[in-house]
């Protein structure tokens, strides 16, 4: 089984890529670009799959993150691929993912062990 840190990094990487890809895109641009739509949808699916793999203990420690919605989005996208509502994908990518990006970054930062000071005293600090 993969470590929490690896799974969280996968979510962060996909969210970062979505935010970068969607920068300066209009909804019309998004709809007109099949490759962009497919890339965004795949990254959203990856986020949902990674969220599904996280242990319940981590999810319960971070109830502000919409874990269930993220996983449900992945399930709908995978099992009803030919019935995708691109306006929902757009809204998710432009409104929800930037928020998720910040939440995941905060979790990753909080889980990093404190750095040992250069004096070797063993008292961790940042």
pLDDT digits (tens, 9 = 90+) for 63-73: 999 999 999 99
Total number of domains constituting the chain: 1
SS3 (DSSP) at 85: coil
Q: How far apart are CA 38 and CA 117, in angstroms?
A: 46
> Does 67 reside within a domain?
yes
In a domain, 122, yes or no: no
What integer pLDDT is reported at residue 118 of this predicted model?
Answer: 60
Domain that holds residue 102: 4-111
Q: Residue 1 — pLDDT band, cuts 50, 70, 90? A: confident
Tell me if 118 is assigned to some domain: no
User: Within a domain: residue 49?
Assistant: yes
pLDDT computed for residue 36 by the predictor: 98
CA distances from 15 to 21, 27, 43, 52, 125 (A): 10, 18, 7, 16, 29
Name the pTM for this structure.
0.86
Residue 80 maps to a domain: yes
User: Looking at the domain assignment, is residue 28 inside a domain?
Assistant: yes
Report if residue 121 sits inside a domain.
no
Residue 56 has pLDDT above 80, yes or no: yes
Specify the residue for token string 């940042």.
126
């Amino acid at each position: 089984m993969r470590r929490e840190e690896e799974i969280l990094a996968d979510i962060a990487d996909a969210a970062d890529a979505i935010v970068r890809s969607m920068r300066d895109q209009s909804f019309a641009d998004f709809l007109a670009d099949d490759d962009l739509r497919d890339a965004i949808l795949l990254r959203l699916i990856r986020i949902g799959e990674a969220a599904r793999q996280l242990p319940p203990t981590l999810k319960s420690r971070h109830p502000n993150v919409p874990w269930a919605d993220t996983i449900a989005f992945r399930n709908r996208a995978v099992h009803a691929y030919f019935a995708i509502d691109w306006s929902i994908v757009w809204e998710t990518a432009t409104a929800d993912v930037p928020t998720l990006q910040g939440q995941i970054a905060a979790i990753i930062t909080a889980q990093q062990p404190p750095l040992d000071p250069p004096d070797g005293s063993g008292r961790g600090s940042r």
